[in-house]
Chain A
């Protein structure tokens, strides 16, 4: 530590990238090792995201599915894509942050020269890495049961879907971080998570593709960030009709806005923070 403080600013700026890379690698490696212990739980978490499959069963059987203009094949692909996208956009910052704040673990974290949210980000990435084979297994099982739904997205669409899924994850992560900052004002932010979970279930496209909504409602929902979380990446992945430029613009806009809001809330909040029990 001392040697770093003694370095001249110029040398430091050159090595700051290297330093950042080292920190990132160490964070990811430690969080990966930690998450690896929870393999069974992660598998169960992955399985608990099966709602799109239930909805697929209802949509396929209902005449309302035909009226949508999506045949059974397109419906099956859409809901499988929605399942996969949801697996890689899960965030649980509010739960962990509330626990860390209540248990007093936040205080030592604040003393470190690293924003606590970076640690959470690393743990989310580590969890996704462990989740990957489970998701692949469930997807293969899906194609075994419904072989007619099998498809390989074209490379361009696949890349776009990957980018959209990553941005959707960042968006969800930032929503959670912003709300987690409210922990500085109230000790029970977890109850709020339940409230935000509801629109995520009904408006994100998990339970029904956005095309199924009445037009007026659909236009309203498109002003919220929720369809960006599942519907947009899932449509990209399943090869459905979607406006690519509008989707990415909206994602970028929401991510920037929430990042600024989160930084502001954090600055004000940290000043109020008096450590739990003090």
Chain B
């Protein structure tokens, strides 16, 4: 009796895999396996350069790193001083501009968290995370 129960459960578990995998394939462009940033919200340095003057660069790194070096014209926005820095960022932003957030490298979470807060709390459109982060910017200089 127990073995038939286990067998049935396994069959059900296996059956459920099929539509699960199917959905994963269907949604593959909307979700990334590596990070919670959807592919549509990641941009490369090259893409950002195409936008040119229309980009506002946001540096999500801690204050000391920003002070040492940053993308020319970039604004600092970090979670330590979000309440103080956000209004300064908003003073520069205007509708239509594209926001590109970067931090130390792709494995650093700060750019993702800043981007999420800009999208969810400030409800700004066109918020992107820079692929490759600060390292990518410096290597392409």
Partners in one complex: no
Binding site for A on B (CB under 8 A): none
